[in-house]
Amino acid sequence: MVNALLYARSNRILELMEHPTERRDADWMRDAAQQAVLLELATLPPYLCGLWSIETSTGDGSVFDTLREIIFDEMSHLGLACNLLTTIGGTPVLADETVVPRYPGPLPGGVRPELSVFLSGLTKDAVEMYSRIEEPDHPLVRAVAEHTSIGAFYTALLEAFRMHPERITGAHQLTMLMPHHGEGNDVVPLTTLASVESAIDVIKEQGEGTSASPENPHPGAEGERAHYYAFREIFHERKLKKNPATGKFEFTGAAIAVPEAMPMGIVPEGGWPRTGPSAPDAETIQILDEFNQAYSALLRALERPWRESDPSQAEQLLFDAVGQMSFLQDPALRLMARPIPGAGGKTYGPEFRYVAP
């Protein structure tokens, strides 16, 4: 059984990256794959808050569509990360208050330790934060300091798989085909080294692009950007365009119409207070609790498929779990419509906190 407290440590990935290559044994690989599961989970709440806050009656729909596509990618990445863990004998842990990412706070494992991930509506600051989550080590549009990126972590995990392909057992592998969301969005069984390599390439390249292009190599639509570059385009409100004179990509393309968004305030540390003078009214607290209960039920539902021994039953459980995501939007929107007293027009929003059944 996974030691949940171990995974709550904010620097676990940094510690794993410090292990010499020759010491990256089966336990190291399972530890790293569980961290990958938590990383993929951690991206969904901030992106969902941004998507839900968009006033769909404004703008041309392109920003909404981009965020929606990225969220589907991240859901697929979460499924692939779970398959990475189970193919080497692990079991994904999602429904545990000590492992569920908390906001505001760092990404799991110490990736980008300078970054605080928060929950809010779609704002300039939020889009900047999204792009920092997805930032590659050497982006095409600006230089950054050395750091541990999500891509660098996946590269280290892939190297361990390449050194020990015999650890790939093919156990508890799930399939969920999503062709209507793009060629890279299928959750597929990882039973060989080639399939593991392909899955990790999809996760890395959909998020970071490649060293040659900002485009998503596994797109749902022609010209779709990798997540980092899609977020930078929204931030600059301009499409990237290659300068024929320099060969460099610049934000000089077509304008992007950024839509208006509901003014969801940043969820404070520990969530919205339940007592004291700044506590919400009873009805708001009820909706907050309703959302947290639905989110917690979803996490428990997502754990079950990879624990089910009957393959056909496991895939039905996964299909049912994905369907439960729709239960989150209604309470989230009701929260975003409720003003925070004395907050200059800001509204409440979901906390994404885990509560035990």
β-sheet bridge partners, residue 176: 187
How many separate domains does the chain show? 1
**Residue 105 in 3-state DSSP?**
strand
Average pLDDT over residues 196-204: 94
- Give a yes or no: residue 35 inside a domain: yes
Give the span between the Cα atoms of 67 and 233, in whole angstroms: 12
- Give a yes or no: residue 222 inside a domain: yes
For residue 182, is pLDDT > 80?
no
Backbone angles phi, psi at 238, to 5 degrees: -145, 145
Give the span between the Cα atoms of 296 and 316, in whole angstroms: 19
Q: Tell me, what CATH number does 194's domain have?
A: 1.20.1260.10
Report the percentage of the chain scoring pLDDT > 90. Answer: 69
> 253-291: per-residue pLDDT in tens?
999 999 999 999 999 999 999 998 889 999 999 999 999
Task: Tell me which long-range contacts 339-344 makes (C-beta under 8 A, separation of at least 24).
Answer: 340/265, 340/280, 343/265
- Give a yes or no: residue 233 inside a domain: yes
- Give a yes or no: residue 58 inside a domain: yes
For residue 218, is pLDDT > 90?
no
Provide the domain limits for residue 242: 4-262
Report the percentage of the chain scoring pLDDT > 70. Answer: 91
- Give a yes or no: residue 240 inside a domain: yes
- Kindly report the average pLDDT of the chain as a whole number: 89
- Give a yes or no: residue 145 inside a domain: yes
Which of 62-76, 79-93, 167-181, 253-267 bottoms out in mean pLDDT, i.e. has the lowest?
167-181
Q: What angle, 0 to 180 degrees and rounded to 10, lies between the N-to-C axes of helices 282-303 and 326-336?
A: 160
Residue bearing the bigger pLDDT, 205 or 298: 298
pLDDT of residue 255: 95
Question: Rg of the chain over CA atoms, in angstroms?
Answer: 20
Q: Which helix (H) or strand (E) holds 325?
A: none
Select the highest-mean-pLDDT range: 55-69, 150-164, 324-338.
324-338
Select the highest-mean-pLDDT range: 75-84, 200-209, 271-280.
75-84
- Give a yes or no: residue 67 inside a domain: yes
For residue 152, is pLDDT > 90?
no
For residue 207, is pLDDT > 60?
yes
- Give a yes or no: residue 275 inside a domain: no
In the chain, count of helices (H) and strands (E)?
11, 2
